[in-house]
Amino acid sequence: MSTTTQTEPSLLARASNVKWSNYVVYIGFVLVFVFFAITQTQYFLNPTNLTNIVIQAAPITIMAIGMVFVLSTGEIDLSIGSTVALSALTAAVVLQSTDVWWIAAAAGLAVGAIVGLVNGIFITWVRLPSFLVTLATMGLVAGLARQLTDLQSVPVTDKAFVWIFGGGNLLGLPIMVWWTIAAVLVGWHLLRQRRYGAHVLAVGNSAAASRVSGIKVNRVRLMVFVGSAMTAAVAGLLYAGRLQGARYTLGETDLMTVIAAAIVGGTSLFGGKGTVIGALIGSLLMSMINNGLILSGLNVSQQMIVRGAIILIAVSFSLRGKKNS
């Protein structure tokens, strides 16, 4: 074994070397949980309520996992919120005319694939910054969603669709929990166990180093945007199934929550570092805060204020540590 010529660092030195910022999300999660458990004991700890937290979080969790890949390459995707609405509305409209759940779902997913490809192509081929491209497609897609049904909501009544993307129950667990588990497993596998994930992180760290190492940088970038838009499309289907209808406002306010969940979870806003499990915990944390604030009887505007403040605190904790390390 080759070791450093210096002596091993003492236990104390090693303890202070631990990157606490990596654990901020878990500590925060426990603190918030304990806080609401004490202040709202009666309702908060109710198993139905706890399951609800996971169910409510499902679309955010899935999109946050897509966002982890985008942020890990050092890019950002602002268009996910609008993609949610367009995917949900497209699926609902197709469902109305075909009455076949999987054709509707495929149509919704196709919307995601197209938006992702458009983002990816403008970012890799035209070489525009992802911030600008996705800002533009955010508006463009939102416009399409409004245009599609002329601002009208579309009901979703198909039983199979509503079961699969909303209220279903499988082996005693709500279908939303299964969606969450599936997304986490797929995301974790791709990021941690595949060469693709290693390349995503490498590109975010140094695109130049990746290029000279033979990594197809542009293909990796394109793929993360397709993946991110696809997670938004899935989230759109889940909203349509759970709310049994689609509306152009779906996903409107999700962008901030998704980015916050990913960053609080330990994914770097500057690329190179990403964690799928962290995004899950981050998303559950956001959902828990939401839930607790409602139980505390705050009105919608007060909730927004408190949530914004909490996100600010949480994000500054995780980002400060990152820069120092």
- Chain contacts with another protein (rule: CB under 8 A): 1-5, 192-195, 197-199, 201-202, 205-206, 208-215, 268, 272-273, 325
Separation between Cα atoms, residue 52 and residue 121, nearest integer Å: 38
Q: Is residue 132 classed as helix, strand or coil in its secondary structure?
A: helix
Question: At closest approach, how far in Å is the CB of 220 from another protein?
Answer: 11
Measured from the CB atom, the residue of 24 and 95 that comes closer to another protein is: 24
Measured from the CB atom, the residue of 148 and 263 that comes closer to another protein is: 263
Separation between Cα atoms, residue 106 and residue 248, nearest integer Å: 19
Question: At closest approach, how far in Å is the CB of 135 from another protein?
Answer: 27
Question: At closest approach, how far in Å is the CB of 259 from another protein?
Answer: 20
How many CB atoms sit inside 10 A of residue 206's CB? 14
Measured from the CB atom, the residue of 59 and 274 that comes closer to another protein is: 274
Question: At closest approach, how far in Å is the CB of 165 from another protein?
Answer: 28
Question: At closest approach, how far in Å is the CB of 27 from another protein?
Answer: 22
Question: At closest approach, how far in Å is the CB of 153 from another protein?
Answer: 43
The amino acid at 250? L
Measured from the CB atom, the residue of 191 and 284 that comes closer to another protein is: 191
Q: Is residue 125 classed as helix, strand or coil in its secondary structure?
A: coil
Measured from the CB atom, the residue of 196 and 317 that comes closer to another protein is: 196
List Cβ neighbours of 98 (8 Å cut-off, separation of 6 or more).
104
Q: Answer whether 180's CB lies under 8 Å from 58's CB.
A: yes
The amino acid at 292? G
Measured from the CB atom, the residue of 47 and 214 that comes closer to another protein is: 214
Tokens encoding 86 = 């367009």
List Cβ neighbours of 81 (8 Å cut-off, separation of 6 or more).
138, 142, 232, 251, 252, 253, 254, 255
Q: Answer whether 193's CB lies under 8 Å from 201's CB.
A: no
Tokens encoding 103 = 């054709």
Question: At closest approach, how far in Å is the CB of 321 from another protein?
Answer: 14
**Within 13 Å, how many C-alpha atoms sit on residue 309's CB side?**
7
Measured from the CB atom, the residue of 5 and 299 that comes closer to another protein is: 5
Torsion, Cα 21 24 27 31, to 10 degrees, reads 140
